[in-house]
Structure 1
Amino acid sequence: MKHVELNNEITKKVDGFYQLEKDKEAMEAFLEEVETKKVTFSTVEERLRYMVENDYYYDVFDQYTVDELEEIYQVAYDANFSFQSYMAASKFYIDYALKTNDGNQYLEGYEERVTIVSLYLAAGDVEKAKQYVRMIIKQNYQPATPTFLNAGRSRRGEMVSCFLLEMDDSLNSIGFNINTAMQLSKIGGGVALNLSKLRARGEAIKEIENAASGVMPVMKLLEDSFSYANQLGQRKGAGAVYLNIFHWDIIEFLDSKKINADEKTRIQSLSIGVIVPNKFFELAEQDKPLYVFAPYTVFKEYGKHLDDIDIDEMYDELVANPNVKKKSLSLSARDMLIKIAMIQLESGYPYFMYKTNANDQHPLKDLGQVKMSNLC
């Protein structure tokens, strides 16, 4: 493909300079190829009739007259929109533009996608639809990815981005949450799951020691689930998992993103994040040892999960309690910060969720605590 070759030439220096002009050439070559693959129509009405009758669009004729539709589409065409880079053009046509069922031809350009999104969101209000078109086509406003991808389509996912799930410490909950994550991924959602309640590797199950497998196998199952359950092959599944920094499995969790991690434990496409109460930063500031806890023993002792207790207040008690299984890591809390920073340099992960700050600041704290974050 000529446009790929031209795009690759950008980084080849000539007389000491990158060939930035190749980006425009690549974009023009790509758009020429797109034109050969477009399904064309003679009028707006012909196009919309085809899209509705072939189950590509919702029935716009229920909300708008033909004259109104032509007016709204004309607003988009009059804007004379043009892509400014190869990346922008290729991203739109590869990931957003609606294609025929066989995936071989394009049914939309940028103006058509902008307009159908505006028509759907305006729900029959002509002036509002025109306003949306003007705002989006000028790029003063950009709907979220699932909205821009799905609005107006008859076979679509949802128009919201992120979902939060919390996994309980049971096989039923693990299976239920994996299935729920796949269902949400299927409709276009990014899903974050809190794994902090899962018992750690080597903890007891039905009083049999060393029976639990920890969080890593669950992460592997989730990674495969998100890869499998995508949105009609057009938008990839995306997930994140969060773990409390005081969880027994935290080192294994973080090491899953190291470049040199063993392939059996390496997590490639699943995002990871750590839930960090202020107590951790207090320990790091004082350069003290860092203890992590086996969450099931915490639950047996206190009737509350490690992730539900106020560890800022309970940390010292957990360390002193002989009934709570714990270990002092070979690195201090300060060293742990350095380790996290190094892994972030390698992979961009983990995300940080500042649990204490979030719960101090959010206005609905009387309804419960904020325990995790989302994929973003």
Structure 2
Amino acid sequence: MSLKDHQDVSYFSLNNEINIPTADGKIQLEKDREALAAFLAENVRPNTMHFNSLRERFDYLIEHDYVEARTIKNYPFTFIEQLYQYLETQNFHFHSFMAAYKFYAQYALKTNDGNQYLENYLDRTALNALYMADGNQQLAMDLASELINQRFQPATPTFLNAGKKRRGELISCFLIQTTDDMNSIGRTINSALQLSKIGGGVGINLSNLRSAGDPIKEIEGAASGVLPVMKLLEDSFSYSNQLGQRQGAGVVYLSVFHPDIIDFLSVKQENADEKIRVNTLSLGVTIPDKFYELAKHNDQMALFSPYDVEKVYGVPFSYVDLTTEYDRMVNNSAIHKKIYQGSRSRN
């Protein structure tokens, strides 16, 4: 049965039965164990490529560019065999169906056509230990012990990519700051695509972008604000993934003093316009100390045009210390602002 063929399998049905209570109201936890056993029997074992020896396995993986040769050649092969012998004595077993399913769906090395598994959890653990120890045999053994006993878990990109010949980066997170011009927005979207392809999650600060209604080339009301850019980024993250194994993940940040903040926080509502509604993009808000001071005293709050702030201060909006400059910005007539008091606002 192909890895992509989900017909005539029992493990999904068994997993679904877990939350169906018995006549006396008990959860059927034993169904999880049954689903795990069925998954290993019906999916993993029939679709795993088998080798006659460890040496044959690594020769095949290196020859077909699945595993980085240097990682293996850093050690005497007798040590690699010793490492595997130790890992096997630890008698690792998955504790739940979802743990096994997630590992084989997203982490396990597969053939190029995606139809066969080339490694199990022990193999992925061994390759992580060998790669991270970089030839240090004692460190490799110590890392293998920590990993197989689940006292240490590397970041997802590290565990997924370590030791592979064709891989993404080992880094979990990247941060990008967009400035208020079309070229920068274009570079940000391209960077989101590229970083999502090779690594982990990408965080993007949109606070410097002019707000909806700000002028463009002195034409009032021309700017669309941050929401359309968010939609472009969500589509970028959905499109770009790590060789189909891990979906792109992104978060966008906006200053709590940005005029688009209310619309920004509303984009996940079910009744939001589909042109701006986001489903998978995560949201974050940057909050200076000044916000908490205003909230503590229930004072009105000003939201400042990033376009005007950059013209006045000569630096992007997010570079300005809002806690220090807040009062001066409120009193500066050259900076357009919205004033909020509770649920009411005025320009």
User: What's the TM-score, normalizing by structure 1?
Assistant: 0.86
Select 2:181's aligned residue among 152, 163, 170. Answer: 170
Match of 2:249 in 1: 238
Rounded to whole Å, the distance in 2 between the matches of 1:180 and 1:288 is: 40
Verify the 8 A CA contact 1:10 1:20 in the aligned structure 2: yes
**Which sits farther off after the overlay, 40-49 or 301-310?**
301-310
Match of 1:289 in 2: 300
Instruction: Give unpaired runs (5+ residues) of structure 1.
Output: 336-376
Match of 1:19 in 2: 28
Paired amino acid for 1:23: D
Rounded to whole Å, the distance in 1 between the matches of 2:275 and 2:35 is: 39
**Which sits farther off after the overlay, 291-300 or 148-157?**
291-300
Paired amino acid for 2:68: Y
**Which sits farther off after the overlay, 314-323 or 194-203?**
314-323
Q: Does 1:182 align with 2:193?
A: yes
Rounded to whole Å, the distance in 1 between the matches of 2:38 and 2:30 is: 13
Verify the 8 A CA contact 2:308 2:336 in the aligned structure 1: yes
Verify the 8 A CA contact 2:179 2:316 in the aligned structure 1: no
Instruction: Give unpaired runs (5+ residues) of structure 2.
Output: 1-8
The offset of 1:209, in angstroms, is: 1.1
Query: Which stretches of structure 1, 4 residues or more, deviate above 6 A after TM superposition?
Result: none
- C-alpha distance after superposition, 1:195-216 (max 9, x if no partner): 1100111111111111111101
Verify the 8 A CA contact 1:122 1:129 in the aligned structure 2: yes
Match of 2:232 in 1: 221
Q: Does 1:207 align with 2:215?
A: no
The offset of 1:313, in angstroms, is: 2.1
Q: Does 1:115 align with 2:123?
A: no
Query: Aligned residue pairs: how many?
Result: 334
Verify the 8 A CA contact 1:38 1:107 in the aligned structure 2: yes
Match of 2:38 in 1: 29
Residue 192 of structure 1 aligns to a residue whose secondary structure is: strand
Paired amino acid for 1:3: Y
Verify the 8 A CA contact 1:246 1:291 in the aligned structure 2: yes
User: What's the TM-score, normalizing by structure 2?
Assistant: 0.93
Q: Does 1:10 align with 2:13?
A: no
Paired amino acid for 1:17: K
Paired amino acid for 1:117: N
Rounded to whole Å, the distance in 2 between the matches of 1:206 and 1:271 is: 32
* Cα RMSD, aligned residues only: 1.5
Rounded to whole Å, the distance in 1 between the matches of 2:298 and 2:133 is: 57
Rounded to whole Å, the distance in 1 between the matches of 2:258 and 2:310 is: 13
The offset of 1:330, in angstroms, is: 6.2
The offset of 1:61, in angstroms, is: 4.3
**Which sits farther off after the overlay, 95-104 or 316-325?**
316-325
**Which sits farther off after the overlay, 160-169 or 71-80?**
71-80
Select 2:158's aligned residue among 147, 171, 175. Answer: 147
Verify the 8 A CA contact 1:188 1:235 in the aligned structure 2: no
What is the correspondence of 1:1-376 to structure 2 with a 5 Å cutoff?
1-14=9-22, 15-33=24-42, 34-59=44-69, 60-329=71-340, 331=342
